[in-house]
Amino acid sequence: MARHLRTLRDLSSAEFNRVLNLARDVKQNPDAYREKLAGKAVAMIFAKPSTRTRVSFEVGIRQLGAQSLFLPYGGDSGLHLGRGETPHDTAKSLSRYVDAIVIRTFGQDEVDALAEHSAIPVINALTDRFYPCQVLADVMTMRERFGDDLRGKKLVFVGPGNNVTHSLLHAGPRVGFDVVVACPEVLPPSHQVLEIAREEALRVGTQVFVEHNARKAVKDAAVIYTDTWVSMGQERDAHSLRAKLTAYTVDDELMETAAPDAIFMHGLPARRGEEVMASVIDGRQSVVFDQAENRLHAQKALMLLLMGAEPWS
Ligand code: CP
Ligand code: NVA
C-alpha cells in the first residue's frame, strides 16, 4: 500500500520529525541525494496557479534524478480529470506510468479519492481545506530559528480560518508548539479540524485556541503568521472577505506586541497593505523567503520517504 500526504494527519509525530530531519540533511548535503530517484517520474496536476510550489517541486524532482510531468488539470492541453474523468480512473491509469502524483486542486475529496485508488504516493500540494506541504516547510523554518524543540513556542495565525490555518492546527500538537488562531468570529477555522486539534493538543500537553482580538492573541507570540485574505477560488467573495478582515492586518504595532525575537511568517503570495504591511514583510523579523526556500528541501525529503528511497526510521 502506497503512503500518501493527503493532510499532515498522515504523519505521526515521529514521522513528522523524520521528514524535518531529512529535509535539513537534504539542505546541507544536496549532492548526497542527486541520484536517489533516478529513473522515476512524478506527475504534477495543477488546477490552480502556482509560483513556489510548481517550481520547487519541479526543480526538486530533477535534483533527485527523476523527471516531472506538469499536467494542467483541464482545458485543451490538460487532463480529462477537469472534464469529468473520475479520480479512480485517473489514479489507476497514472499509477501504470509514474511513481508519484503531486496535486493542487479545489476539493480535498478529490485528493482523498485519488489516494484511495492510487498504487503510488499522492501528495497534496494545496486544496481548499489543507496545505500540508507549506506547513512542513514552515516548521522547518521555525526549527532553524528557534532550535528543534518548539515546545512552549506560540504561533499565532492572524487572518481567516483557511487551508493554511488547518494544516498549522494539524502541525502544532504533532511537533509540540502552541497554535492560536486570531480570526473574525465570522471566519473561523473548521469546527471539526479545531476539535481534533484540541483533543490532540490536550493529549500531548500543547495549546490550541481561537481568539478574536488580534492584539490580545499575539502577546508573547514567537511566530506571527498570516496568509492572503482571498484564497484561490474565493475571488467572487473578495470584497466581503476584505471588509471582515480590516482589523487583522499585521503591522509594526502588532509585531511589537509579540515576543522580542518573534518572527513573521507568510507562505506567499502576499498582498502588501492588506493582510500585512510592507514594513513587516520586508522587515528584519520576516522569514518569508526562508519559508519559500525550505519548500524545496522539505518536499525533496518528503518524496524520498514516500517513494521509498529513504527509510522512515
Ligand atoms: N505558498 C505557495 O504555495 O505559493 P504558490 O501558490 O506560488 O505555489
Ligand atoms: N490560502 C492560500 C494559499 C496560497 C498558497 C490559497 O489557498 O490561495
DSSP the chain: ----BSSGGGS-HHHHHHHHHHHHHHHH-GGGGTTTTTT-EEEEEESS--SHHHHHHHHHHHHTT-EEEEEESSSTTS-GGGGT--HHHHHHHHTTT-SEEEEE-S-HHHHHHHHHH-SS-EEE---SS--HHHHHHHHHHHHHHH-S--TT-EEEEES---HHHHHHHHHHHHHT-EEEEE--TTSPPPHHHHHHHHHHHHHHT--EEEES-HHHHTTT-SEEEE--SS-TT-GGGHHHHHHHTGGG-B-HHHHHHS-TT-EEEE-S---BTTTB-HHHHTSTTB-HHHHHHHHHHHHHHHHHHHTTSS---
Residue 84 CA to ligand 1 center (angstroms) comes to 26
Give the number of the atom of ligand 1 that is nearest the alpha carbon of residue 131.
3
Give the number of the atom of ligand 2 that is nearest the alpha carbon of residue 268.
5
pLDDT at 43: 98
pLDDT at 106: 98
Residue 231 CA to ligand 2 center (angstroms) comes to 5
Residue 227 CB less than 6 A away from ligand 2: yes
Residue 205 CA to ligand 1 center (angstroms) comes to 32
Give the number of the atom of ligand 1 that is nearest the alpha carbon of residue 125.
3
Q: Ligand nearest 163 Cα, by number?
A: 2
Residue 105 CB less than 6 A away from ligand 2: no
**Topology agreement, domain 8-131+293-306 and domain 134-291:** yes
pLDDT at 296: 99
pLDDT at 303: 99
Classify 205 in phi/psi space as left (phi over 0), alpha (psi -120 to 50) or beta: left
- Taking the C-alpha atoms of 51, 57, 62 and 66 in order, what is their torsion angle to the nearest 10 degrees? -140
**Nearest alpha-carbon partner for 134 in 143, 124, 144:** 124
Is 8-131+293-306 assigned to CATH 2.60.120.380?
A: no
Q: Which residues of the chain have pLDDT under 70?
A: none
pLDDT at 219: 97
What residues does each domain of the chain span? 8-131+293-306, 134-291
Query: What pTM was computed for the model?
Result: 0.98
* Residue 269, preceding peptide bond in cis (omega within 30° of 0): yes
**Nearest alpha-carbon partner for 42 in 63, 23, 22, 70:** 70
CATH fold of 134-291 reads Rossmann fold (3.40.50)
Give the number of the atom of ligand 1 that is nearest the alpha carbon of residue 56.
8
Residue 51 CB less than 6 A away from ligand 1: yes
